[in-house]
């Protein structure tokens, strides 16, 4: 599917003069794309727009021919917000099935879909656990299962690995790897070091604008010479932010210059 932002601006109500996103034109590529940027860069805003939770102040967000925020659009695009709120009295399977039902699945399909989605996030053994008793990391995986239950083609994940321990991160990355080919994933994170290397593409937002949009290799190519092995992603990210606004940093080499 083609998720496309065109000259998209979004300003929160009390901050009309300082838009959170500024004329962003961006097309989500296939595979896993990591969305990086400092605090307040506009990552969550971009994800919420893609999920059609909010509408652009100017410009458009489109997903193929589906009407923005229509039921088919919301089925195609699933969003995992930064905080997954448990429904403490529901088990993980009931929670996921409930979300599937809200998205239009029949009760039977939602129930079956929930079991299969929980298997995909390696939580089949916790399906009967009340969501109020799950850890933060497990709850996020339940959130991913809920996002997958209705067959979404695009998954929007807002800092899903924040606060996870290294083992949970590993499990989560394996889950994402397992989704390859099935769904397009756009995932925001502050975890530059270990995630950028597994992504197909990297987009960097700063001040509501796209600073970088390209393959992971092209992103890593921004790392300064001499960057320590294992620190390439961090080096590339820092260099991009430090060079922002300097034309020489992004302009192609001059050709034919005297």
Ligand X SMILES: Nc1ncnc2c1ncn2[C@@H]1O[C@H](COP(=O)(O)OP(=O)(O)OP(=O)(O)O)[C@@H](O)[C@H]1O
Identify which of 213, 223, 153 has the alpha carbon closest to the alpha carbon of residue 183: 153
When the beta carbons of 53 and 90 are compared against ligand X, the nearer one is 53
> Encoding tokens for residue 30?
């296939």
Instruction: Identify whether the C-beta of residue 60 lies closer than 8 Å to the C-beta of residue 6.
Output: yes
DSSP class of residue 66 equals: B
24, 28, 36, 41: which one binds ligand X (CB under 6 A): 41
Q: Does 17 bind ligand X (CB under 6 A)?
A: no
Token reading at 170: 């590993």
Q: Note the residue count of the chain.
A: 258
Q: Which is nearer to ligand X, 77 or 127 (CB)?
A: 77
Asked whether position 15 contacts ligand X by CB under 6 A, the answer is: yes
Complex with ligand X: residue 45 or 91, whichever CB lies closer: 45
Q: Is 40 in the site for ligand X (CB under 6 A)?
A: yes
127 versus 186: smaller Cβ distance to ligand X: 186
Angle at 52 between CA 20 and CA 147, to 5 degrees: 115
Closest to ligand X by CB, 39 or 85: 39
Which listed range, 43-51, 95-103, 148-156, 174-182, lies at the site for ligand X (CB under 6 A)? 43-51
The reply on whether position 16 binds ligand X by CB under 6 A is no
Residues with Cβ within 8 Å of residue 223, at least 6 apart in sequence: 231, 232, 233, 235, 236, 239
CB burial string 122-144: b at 16+ within 10 A, e below? bbbebbeebbeebeebbbbbbbb
Region from 36-44, 50-58, 65-73, 215-223 binding ligand X, contact rule CB under 6 A: 36-44
Q: Does 56 bind ligand X (CB under 6 A)?
A: no
Least Å from the CB of residue 102 to ligand X: 24
Q: Using CB under 6 A, list all residues that contact ligand X.
A: 12, 14-15, 20, 37, 39-45
């Amino acid at each position: 599917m083609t998720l496309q932002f065109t000259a998209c601006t979004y300003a929160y109500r009390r901050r009309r003069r300082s838009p959170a996103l500024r004329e962003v034109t961006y097309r989500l590529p296939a595979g896993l794309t990591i969305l990086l940027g400092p605090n307040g860069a506009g990552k969550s805003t971009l994800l919420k727009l893609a999920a059609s939770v909010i509408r652009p102040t100017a410009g458009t967000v489109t997903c193929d021919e589906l009407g923005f925020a229509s039921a088919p659009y919301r089925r195609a695009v699933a969003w995992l917000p930064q905080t997954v709120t448990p429904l403490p009295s529901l088990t993980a399977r009931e929670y996921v099935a409930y979300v599937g039902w809200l998205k239009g699945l029949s009760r039977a399909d939602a129930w079956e879909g929930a079991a299969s989605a929980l298997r995909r996030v390696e939580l089949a053994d916790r399906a009967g656990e009340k969501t109020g008793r799950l850890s933060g990391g497990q709850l996020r995986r339940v959130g991913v299962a809920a996002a997958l239950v209705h067959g979404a083609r695009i998954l929007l994940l807002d800092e899903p690995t924040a606060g996870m321990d290294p083992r949970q991160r590993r499990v989560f990355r394996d889950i994402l790897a397992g989704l390859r080919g099935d769904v397009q994933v756009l995932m925001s994170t502050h975890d530059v070091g270990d995630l950028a290397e597994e992504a197909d593409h990297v987009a960097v937002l700063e001040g509501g604008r796209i600073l970088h949009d390209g393959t992971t290799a092209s992103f890593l190519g921004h790392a300064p010479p001499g960057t320590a092995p294992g620190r390439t992603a961090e080096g590339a990210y820092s260099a991009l932010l430090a060079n922002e606004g300097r034309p020489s940093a992004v302009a192609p080499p001059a050709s034919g210059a005297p």
